[in-house]
C-alpha cells in the first residue's frame, strides 16, 4: 500500500517539500528504497538514511534537500501509517462461531464476536462484543473477555480471568494458570492450592509465551494499559499499576506491588512481597530485593539508584589499588607504634 506525500500532508495536517504526487510506503531506516518513507526527529539521523526516498520531519527541521513532509509528530504519524498497513493486512474476520469450536452451553458469547476453529470456551465464560478469538484458543471456566479484545492462536485463559476492553493476548501466553506455590514439609514440597483469579484492566497487552499466574486468593491485578513482553512472568497475587511495562524475559515475584508507569528492563526481576513506587525504572538484568520508594532509574544487583551504581562501577577497577594503599598505610601506622 502506498500514499502520496500530498495525501499524508492532508490527512495529518502537514506541509510537503518536494513532489506532492510522489507515492511512498513506510520502510526501515537502513533500507535502499527510493519509494520508502522514514521519519527523523534530528538532522543527525538523516545521515544514516541515505537510501530512503522521503521523510516525515518536525517543522523545525529545515534545509533538507530530499522530499519530505513537515508534521507536528513525525514518529506518531509514522506509527499511524503502520497501523493502517496492519489493518489492511489482517482484516477482522466476520462475526460468528466456527463449527469446529467447542462451546459450553452455559457461556455467553456476544453475537458480534468471532470464535475461530478448534477454540474451546468453557462453562461460565463471557465473550464481549466485537472480540476476536482465533483458532486453538482456550477460554476456561468463568473467564470474561471484554469488548474489542483479541486472543491470538494458542492463547490460554486458564480459569477465573477477567480481561477489560481492547486487550490483546498473543500466541502461547497463559493467563490464569496456577501460581507457583509450594511449602516445605518433612515429606517434601507440598502444593499450595491457588483458588484466586486474574483481573486485567483496559488496553492490556500480553505478548507471546508470557505467564500471569492466578492468585492464591483474591486476584492477581494488571492495571489499565499494562504491557507484558514475550517470556515475562507475573507471580500470583502481584499487582501492576496502570501503564507499567515489562520488557521480555523480566519477571515479578508473587505478592509484589509495582506502581504506575514502572518499567522493568530485559532480564530484570522483582522479589516477592516487594513494593515499587510510581515511575520506577529498573535497568536490564537488575534485581530488586527490597522496596523502592522513590521514582527514577535503578540498576544492578541489588538494584540501586543509577547514579550510585555508576559511582560503584567506576570504583570497582580501582579496588585492588585502594586495598594496597590501605595495606601500606596500616604497615606504616604499625611501624610507628
- Whole-number Å distance between alpha carbons of 304 and 6: 50
Query: Which of 236, 243, 273, 285 is labelled catalytic?
Result: 236
* DSSP classification of residue 97: E
Cell numbers that stand for 245 in this block: 511495562
Contact 221, 214 (CB under 8 A): no
Q: Give Cα separations from 143 to 129, 135, 162, 163 (angstroms).
A: 15, 17, 6, 8
Grid cell of 256 as nine digits: 509484589
The residues with which 9 forms a beta bridge, in sequence order, are none
285 catalytic per annotation: no
Question: Is residue 169 a contact partner of residue 211, using CB atoms and an 8 Å limit?
Answer: no
Report d(CA 185, CA 174) in Å as an integer. 29
Cell numbers at 334, concatenated: 604499625
DSSP string of 61-81? -----S-EEEES-HHHHHHHH
DSSP-derived secondary structure for 210-244: -EEEPPSSSEEEE-TT-EE-TT-EE-TT-EE-TT-
**SS3 label, residue 28:** coil
| Distance, CA of 64 to CA of 73 (rounded, Å) | 17
Residue 30 burial (CB count, 10 A): 12
Give the containing element (helix H, strand E) for 126.
Answer: strand 126-127
Catalytic residues: 236
Amino acid at each position: 500500500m502506498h500514499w502520496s506525500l500530498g495525501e499524508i500532508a492532508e490527512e495529518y495536517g502537514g506541509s510537503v517539500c518536494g513532489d506532492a504526487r510522489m507515492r511512498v510506503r513506510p520502510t526501515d531506516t537502513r533500507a535502499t528504497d527510493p519509494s520508502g518513507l522514514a521519519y527523523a526527529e534530528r538532522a543527525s539521523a538523516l545521515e544514516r538514511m541515505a537510501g530512503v526516498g522521503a521523510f516525515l520531519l518536525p517543522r523545525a527541521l529545515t534545509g533538507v534537500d530530499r522530499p519530505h513532509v513537515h508534521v507536528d509528530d513525525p514518529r506518531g504519524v509514522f506509527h499511524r501509517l503502520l497501523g493502517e498497513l496492519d489493518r489492511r493486512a489482517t482484516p477482522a474476520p466476520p462475526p460468528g462461531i466456527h463449527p469446529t469450536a467447542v462451546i459450553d452451553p452455559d457461556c455467553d458469547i456476544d453475537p458480534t464476536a468471532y470464535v475461530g476453529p478448534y477454540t474451546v470456551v468453557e462453562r461460565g465464560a463471557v465473550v464481549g462484543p466485537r472480540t476476536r478469538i482465533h483458532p486453538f484458543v482456550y477460554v476456561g471456566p468463568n473467564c470474561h473477555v471484554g469488548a474489542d479484545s483479541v486472543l491470538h492462536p494458542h492463547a490460554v485463559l486458564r480459569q477465573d480471568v477477567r480481561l477489560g476492553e481492547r486487550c490483546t493476548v498473543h500466541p502461547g501466553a497463559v493467563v490464569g494458570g496456577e501460581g507457583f506455590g509450594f511449602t516445605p514439609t518433612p515429606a517434601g514440597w507440598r502444593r499450595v492450592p491457588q483458588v484466586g483469579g486474574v483481573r486485567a484492566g483496559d488496553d492490556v497487552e500480553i505478548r507471546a509465551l508470557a505467564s500471569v499466574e492466578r492468585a492464591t486468593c483474591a486476584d492477581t491485578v494488571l492495571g489499565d494499559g499494562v504491557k507484558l513482553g514475550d517470556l515475562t512472568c507475573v507471580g500470583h497475587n502481584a499487582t501492576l499499576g496502570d501503564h507499567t511495562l515489562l520488557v521480555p524475559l523480566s519477571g515479578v515475584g508473587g505478592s509484589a506491588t509495582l506502581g504506575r508507569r514502572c518499567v522493568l528492563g530485559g532480564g530484570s526481576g522483582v522479589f516477592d512481597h516487594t513494593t515499587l513506587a510510581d515511575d520506577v525504572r529498573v535497568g536490564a538484568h537488575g534485581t530488586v530485593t527490597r522496596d523502592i520508594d522513590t521514582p527514577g532509574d535503578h540498576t544492578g544487583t541489588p538494584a540501586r539508584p543509577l547514579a550510585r551504581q555508576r559511582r560503584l562501577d567506576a570504583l570497582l577497577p580501582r579496588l585492588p589499588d585502594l586495598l594496597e594503599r590501605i595495606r601500606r598505610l596500616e604497615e606504616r601506622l604499625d611501624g610507628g607504634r
